[in-house]
Amino acid sequence: MEGLKIGFIGLGIMGKSMARNLHRAGFEVTVWNRTAAKMDEAKAEWGAHLADSPKDVAAQSDVVITLGGDTPDVREVVTGEEGVLAGARPGTVLIDMSTISPEATRELAELAAEQGVAMLDAPVSGGDVGARNGTLSIMVGGEEKVLEKVRPVLEAMGKTIVHCGPIGAGQTVKACNQILCGLNLLGMVEALAFAKKSGVDLEKMIQVTSQGAGGSWALANYGLRVVKGDLDPGFSVRFQQKDLRIVLAEAERMELPLLGTATVQQLLRAVQAHGGNEDGTQALVRVMEQLGNVEITPKQ
């Protein structure tokens, strides 16, 4: 993989760290982002090469990684007039690491294949911490031979890389992940409320339970943030809601009832209604405080 040129599109909370980790692994990285200031930051911080458009990124790259906010964003970045496919050469590999609709992923892969571009869907889990540390879990859909070709690229960003099946399978497994994230988040805030109402020290409760059968990533990583009043986004309510809309749309198509997931989605909608759209998902605690008339986060 020596000399491989990587294009990275999308320098948000996670993307900026993922692109930096590719650079640290020795890859030449060209970036593009809708907000130009984020590209300037990448250039100043670690010497990223800058592109004028997704088309320009693809023209300079052997592998193009996209990390967009939602399905329409990714579709535009890939298929637009100045999109990736307008600049990609046959043999280019497109890796979409966004969380989007599995159906849309399959459609994009078909369009890419018509131009000789192989595509993988490789959504991630691990939040801002995993992105910074290069320890993300990466769920990959697509041809296994393509995955093996670019595995060193993914290894620069993630610790656990699993081939889940054909194109779209990565997005399906990511949907499963978001179901679990939502329900673990709800379990965390309910446990915090129960402990607070009972007069138990919250940090001690987290210390013990995070190591037991009731432990979860949400409890271990977000629990102490909540106790300290830190509701800054590692992953925002807005994006969690986008992911849960994808989950529930797929569940509707399969005629599958997901009662817990739907409950979390509605509770997060209440967070949004009170101005918490850009807060971290741990801001779900605010709804629990209101419902239970209990103060869990310290007053600012």
- Residues carrying an active site annotation: 174
- 3-class SS letters over 203-229: HHHHHHHCCCCCCCHHHHHHHHHHHCC
Q: What is the β-pairing status of strands 124-125 and 136-141? A: antiparallel
Place of tokens 């090469």: 49
From CA 76, how far away is CA 242, in angstroms rounded? 17
In order of 9, 41, 43, 86, the CA distances from 36 in angstroms are 12, 9, 11, 21
Amino acid identity, residue 202? Answer: L
Q: Which residues contact 222 (CB under 8 A, 6 or more apart)?
A: 185, 188, 234, 280, 281, 282
Dihedral angle sign, alpha carbons of residues 47, 67, 95, 156 = positive
